[in-house]
Structure 1
């Protein structure tokens, strides 16, 4: 969980951006909504390093990221809208904190659960968090059952007819 914030084009992004990073709690995931701008790369290796030191679990932005080789070496998950060298200075400013935002075509609210893996990330509203997680774990169990059956040589059509998950 982490407060969500919106980055708009502007002069000096650093004051609120620094405060947000310095205030991260263990397990939190900052969500940076940049309006899918190809001109703003608010995230780089320094924010990654600071976030790791605070115990953050990752970052999501629909903006660009920079220093991607350094970030990958840190094994810190960053879901982003692209890679580019343009930092925020003179291009973006943190315009609002702790508000619902649209990030990568997804509405994200403060306090939403962020879950991600190598395939991507999702935002789960708190109000339905338990239901969504229960259904996800059920599906994973069925996927494991399906995989085991396929490894035993069963036909895909038969396994799907019985378990109903692909």
Structure 2
């Protein structure tokens, strides 16, 4: 299980941050490849995903073996803590692996999870939307994973939509996309992002007063 040694106010950051500014900050810190491919989208564009990664790796498996094919998946969901985000790597985009649905959503909500992120498919989308739970996905489809894929490992580094995700990384997603902030730089990245957003707020006010863009940019240095 990922240990959360970051002191981030998730409720505040969910209200204040945005993916675009976080991506800009990561560029400035020498991490230009932390935004997921744009096929990963929220079920609801109003959703904000903000929390710490718990990872699971799915592999294709076309033969139903003995035992519980959901065992590792269930272990991950049952061990979620408040503020954590199950991050499910399915080698997406895919049209065959739908690991997430209403019941996993319900179980995750009961444990205080902050949402779900996967490059695989989701199903039961009407009910998930009714639950108002942030789910970012690689597509929508009805197929169960049983007999098609199985979560083989959990809490190991995984690649999702061309971004490496490690347990405990800070995950932020909104209508612009999903950004993964490595836990080693999360405190600094979040601080710089909040500072930039404050500068953007000041820029916006000056622009609304009619000041020239070039003058305002020279004053605050953000665009």
TM-score, scaled relative to structure 1? 0.93
The alignment's C-alpha RMSD in Å is 1.4
Alignment-derived partner of residue 57 in structure 2: 6
Q: Is 1:41–1:86's contact at 8 Å kept on the other side of the alignment?
A: yes
Q: Which residue, 75, 85, 93 being the options, matches 1:19?
A: 75
Alpha-carbon deviation of 1:23? 1.2
Query: 1:154 and 1:68 mapped to 2: Cα distance?
Result: 45
Structure 2 stretches lacking a partner, 5+ long: 1-51
1:35 counterpart residue number: 91
**CA distance in structure 2 between the partners assigned to 1:77 and 1:108 by the alignment:** 18
* Equivalent pair of 1:34/1:40 in contact (CA under 8 Å): yes
Task: State the secondary structure of the residue aligned to 1:143.
Answer: helix
Whether the 8 Å contact between 1:26 and 1:56 is mirrored in structure 2 is yes
Q: Is the contact between residue 8 and residue 94 of structure 1 (CA under 8 Å) also seen in structure 2?
A: yes
Task: Give the number of equivalent residue pairs.
Answer: 166
Question: 1:66-125 CA deviation, whole Å, 9 max, x = no partner?
Answer: 111211111111111111111211111001111111001110011111122332222211
Partner residue, 2:132: 75
What is the alpha-carbon distance in structure 2 between the residues aligned to residue 82 and residue 164 of structure 1?
38
Cα distance change on mapping 1:56 and 1:155 into 2, 3 Å: same
